[in-house]
Amino acid sequence: MYIAMNRFKVASGAETDFENVWRNRDSSLAQVPGFVEFRLLRGSTNTEEGYTLFVSHTIWQSEEDFLNWTKSENFRAAHRNAGENKVMYKGPPVFEGFNVVDGI
């Protein structure tokens, strides 16, 4: 198993718009070989720096499945309009990928 996550610092006041972008996107992930699960996580708010932390969290059968998706037309289509929402972010997303070592 492989877990891929992106951390987003979403500008205070843009949280609902950010969540709606994710809810209304057409990711086609369910049809991608090796895809298992997706979650969008909302974390704490940093009032001093003016953002709320969000994490996109996907589970894949393997790292190879994830990498294949990142090279696919489905990936390009899912991210085609990402630049239109830059005003919502306090900096670029930060990617983290993990191979599962143990779990239940």
**Residue-wise pLDDT tens digits, 37-52:** 999 999 999 999 999 9
37 vs 100: CA distance, rounded Å:
14
Contact between 78 and 28 (Cβ < 8 Å): yes
Is the predicted pLDDT of residue 80 greater than 80, yes or no?
no
Contact between 51 and 9 (Cβ < 8 Å): yes
| Rg of the chain taking only CA atoms, in angstroms | 14
pLDDT at res. 101: 96
What residue ranges do the domains of the chain occupy?
A: 2-99
Is the predicted pLDDT of residue 33 greater than 80, yes or no?
yes
pLDDT at res. 24: 85
Please state the rounded mean pLDDT for residues 51-66: 97
- Which pair of tokens denotes residue 73? 């037309």
Q: pLDDT-derived band of residue 82, with 50, 70 and 90 as boundaries?
A: low
pLDDT at res. 103: 87
- Which pair of tokens denotes residue 65? 């499945």
CATH topology of domain 2-99: Alpha-Beta Plaits (3.30.70)
* pTM summary value: 0.88
18 vs 51: CA distance, rounded Å:
12
Please state the rounded mean pLDDT for residues 25-42: 91
